[in-house]
Structure 1
Amino acid sequence: MTTEFVIETEGLTKEFKGFRAVNNVGLQVRRGTIHALIGPNGAGKTTCFNLITKFLQPTTGRILYNGRDITAAKPHDVARMGLVRSFQISAVFPHLTVLENVRVALQRPLGTSFHFWRPEGSVEVLNDRAMELLEQVGVDAYADLQAVELPYGRKRALEIATTLALDPEMLLLDEPMAGMGREDIRRIADLIRRVAKNRTVLMVEHNLSVVADLSDRITVLARGEILAEGSYAEVSSNPAVVEAYMGTGHG
């Protein structure tokens, strides 16, 4: 039976020495959608993300993935189930080429990712798939360039390519447009839209306007709690959301 929601959290709470960073969050990410988790600095977005991807253990509450309780699971367990967070595997190797970076990621499911000593020929079979992924994210022209030489926005695209190499059912992106100019933001937004065609995406974002045309649903966090949820039109006109953003001095 396929559940309607890929991710559900129930009463998700995380305390650090008496401080509640996340308080009683009930999140539902519908299958096949792009869902944005947004909020001003200190809203608890990253803590929430770390709980869902199992980098942190909740103080109380439950996390369900496809209806299955993963509250006690480890990060590598949930990654193997198809729940993959961009930076989990996207520590891009700066001195490998763009193509080699994706090839390393493709080797992971084969259990051969660290066999750098293997003859070149044995990994050639992965080249076609690696090039397909590079084309998908628009960096195929940079295939032979060392990753360290890539412009910032293209490097983030390469990170997404290495994540897609694991063929995740659900992709979790942590502020994928942070530090980008307008053109790069547009390019990465288009890319997220394309890769979301056959999977579910949950993204953390600080900037509300960035997710305006991108997200099917937006959850706004403030002080660790859900402040509002709905479409961009609904949340952007919500007085509580406007106040939360204005109160922090951020647009």
Structure 2
Amino acid sequence: ALIGPNGAGKTTVFNLLTKFLTPTHGEILYRGRTITAMKANEIARLGLVRSFQISAVFGHMSVLENVRVALQQKLGNSFQFWTSERSLRELDEQVMQLLAEVDLQAFAQTLAIELPYGRKRALELATTLALDPVVLLLDEPTQGMGSEDVDMVVELVRRAAVDRTVLMVEHNLSVVSRLCDRITVLARGSVLAEGDYETVSADPQVREAYLGSEAAALQEAHA
């Protein structure tokens, strides 16, 4: 996980990794190769895929159709209304497998706009998994959620991390303590500390960077 106070540079790191920002100097390495000069779509094809902070789905398409579009993008096929029934059936079998991963099978024919907020985030995760990420970047996956939805998303992220790397930006320190085995703390664009949650939460520099109530939350999340 990447954590740190507001303005630390967490989302900027994601923007650099996925080329929403171009670095002015330095080098970005991914799995031993430089991706500094690559385009966003080239990086995604390498398996570095980002799920956005704000849920971005097609509201007036069904849950199944949303994931199908993402899957077609991965396969290199644009969305076609006249695709053969056999091709659609084969795609939809894969879609249902992805929906099963995020507990959305029962919502397959539901319009995305009708989903509760937590389920929309689950749908967003399914569309991201359809791109077959090697490294999954999650930007504030539990933002704006109640405790029940947070627990659901924590479990979904835990499942997603079984056979891939997950790097997340998350302000909910309880979520970080439950999910993350390695944490990097940023402050003013620099790395302040790295390690497991117990290590970074006890670091005096980290506690000073968070200050006041945030520092207390940092410690309480580990208690």
- The two structures share one fold, judged by TM-score above 0.5: yes
Aligned to 2:77: 112
Deviates more, 1:221-230 or 1:201-210: 201-210
Say whether residues 1:61 and 2:26 are aligned partners.
yes
Q: Counterpart of 2:110 in 1: which secondary structure? A: coil
Determine which of 62, 65, 90 is the counterpart of 1:97: 62
Determine which of 98, 111, 114 is the counterpart of 1:133: 98
Higher strand share: 1
The 5 Å alignment of 1:15-54 reads: 36-54=1-19
**RMSD, matched Cα:** 1.8
Q: Is the 8 A contact 1:44 1:222 kept in 2?
A: yes
Aligned residues: 215
Question: What TM-score do you get using the length of structure 1 for normalisation?
Answer: 0.81
Once residues 233 and 142 of structure 1 are traced to their aligned partners in structure 2, the CA distance between those partners, rounded to angstroms, is: 39
Q: Is the 8 A contact 2:142 2:172 kept in 1?
A: no
Say whether residues 1:237 and 2:199 are aligned partners.
no
Amino acid at match of 1:83: L
Determine which of 139, 152, 169 is the counterpart of 1:204: 169
Q: Counterpart of 1:212 in 2: which secondary structure? A: helix
Give CA deviations for 1:152-184 in whole Å, capped at 9, x if unaligned.
111011101001111111111111111111111
Say whether residues 1:193 and 2:158 are aligned partners.
yes
Amino acid at match of 1:205: E
> Please, which runs of 5 or more residues in structure 1 have no aligned partner?
1-35
Say whether residues 1:151 and 2:137 are aligned partners.
no
Deviates more, 1:239-248 or 1:164-173: 239-248
Aligned to 2:221: none
Determine which of 134, 144, 152 is the counterpart of 1:169: 134
Q: CA deviation at 1:110?
A: 2.5
Give CA deviations for 1:2-55 in whole Å, capped at 9, x if unaligned.
xxxxxxxxxxxxxxxxxxxxxxxxxxxxxxxxxx00111111101111011111
Give CA deviations for 1:126-156 in whole Å, capped at 9, x if unaligned.
1111111111101111111000011111101
Q: Is the 8 A contact 2:49 2:137 kept in 1?
A: yes
Q: Is the 8 A contact 2:16 2:23 kept in 1?
A: yes
Question: What TM-score do you get using the length of structure 2 for normalisation?
Answer: 0.91
Once residues 100 and 70 of structure 1 are traced to their aligned partners in structure 2, the CA distance between those partners, rounded to angstroms, is: 32
Q: Is the 8 A contact 1:52 1:63 kept in 2?
A: yes
Once residues 18 and 75 of structure 2 are traced to their aligned partners in structure 1, the CA distance between those partners, rounded to angstroms, is: 22
Once residues 116 and 216 of structure 1 are traced to their aligned partners in structure 2, the CA distance between those partners, rounded to angstroms, is: 44
Once residues 69 and 47 of structure 1 are traced to their aligned partners in structure 2, the CA distance between those partners, rounded to angstroms, is: 18
Amino acid at match of 1:149: E
Q: CA deviation at 1:229?
A: 0.7
Once residues 205 and 174 of structure 2 are traced to their aligned partners in structure 1, the CA distance between those partners, rounded to angstroms, is: 16
Q: Is the 8 A contact 1:105 1:113 kept in 2?
A: no
Q: Is the 8 A contact 2:2 2:169 kept in 1?
A: yes
Q: CA deviation at 1:209?
A: 2.2
Once residues 60 and 19 of structure 2 are traced to their aligned partners in structure 1, the CA distance between those partners, rounded to angstroms, is: 30
Aligned to 2:188: 223
